[in-house]
Amino acid sequence: MLICRFLGNACIELIGEKDHIIIDPVFLSPPREGIGRVFITHEHSDHINIDKLDEICEKYTENPKWLAIYGPKIVHNNFKFDILEVESNTKVNLNDGIVEVFENECWKSKGCVAFLIEIGGKRILHTADSAKFSNQLRAIKTEIDCCFIACFESNFNDYLEFLKIISPKLVIPYHFTGEKEENAKKLVDFLKVNNLNSKFLDMGGEFRI
């Protein structure tokens, strides 16, 4: 069983029996205690915030010295703190799974990545805030249980075109704050009309697979 939580912005939290990770930890709803790994897609302030990392160390990890932080080189260059650098084709072994790193394209970011996380045999794709998906992402053949995708209304057709290629079992719109949640609901309706399984998850909401 894998618990998937949406915490606002592009932050998701994944909790398995042996792994507890958080991605792009600029959370608006608090995570749970026990985080062991942090993954960051790129350097923008709605994806990485030093104060939030400090909060994780103070409140949400058992031992800050054991907290592993992964991200692309651009994050290290911009923030000057120690991370485990990842790039396209990097694979990070978890206790009960693996994280694969994919080339990605995000607005005004050089070096953004996407993460395909497998925990306990379940696969979650985190696409940052991409709308122009790389050829590497488009070539994914692995079965995806859930894809988290941004919900900017001007890019709905871009999301649809990509999702029809990779055919995830479930799509969750994310990358919004409270005042923008209507965009996520509109995207859910748009995807359903186009025969894709999608559901709205509010901030702090979770589901299990």
Name all domains of the chain by residue range, CATH numbers in brackets: 3-199 (3.60.15.10)
pTM over 0.85: yes
What pLDDT shows up at residue 80? 77
Mean pLDDT of 51-76: 93
CA dihedral 21→167→195→134, nearest 10 degrees, is 80
Between the CA of residue 128 and those of 18, 36, 55, 98, 112, what are the distances in Å? 24, 20, 22, 18, 8
pLDDT, tens digit, 9 for 90 and up, residues 117-176: 999 999 999 999 999 999 999 999 999 999 999 999 999 999 999 999 999 999 999 999
- Range with the lowest mean pLDDT among 85-94, 100-109, 132-141, 148-157? 100-109
State the average pLDDT for the chain. Answer: 95
What pLDDT shows up at residue 125? 98
Give the list of residues 6+ apart from residue 195 with CB closer than 8 angstroms, or none: none
Between the CA of residue 75 and those of 7, 40, 57, 111, what are the distances in Å? 21, 8, 18, 9
What pLDDT shows up at residue 110? 84
pLDDT, tens digit, 9 for 90 and up, residues 66-75: 899 999 999 9
For the cut 90, the answer to whether the pLDDT of residue 113 exceeds it is yes
What pLDDT shows up at residue 78? 83
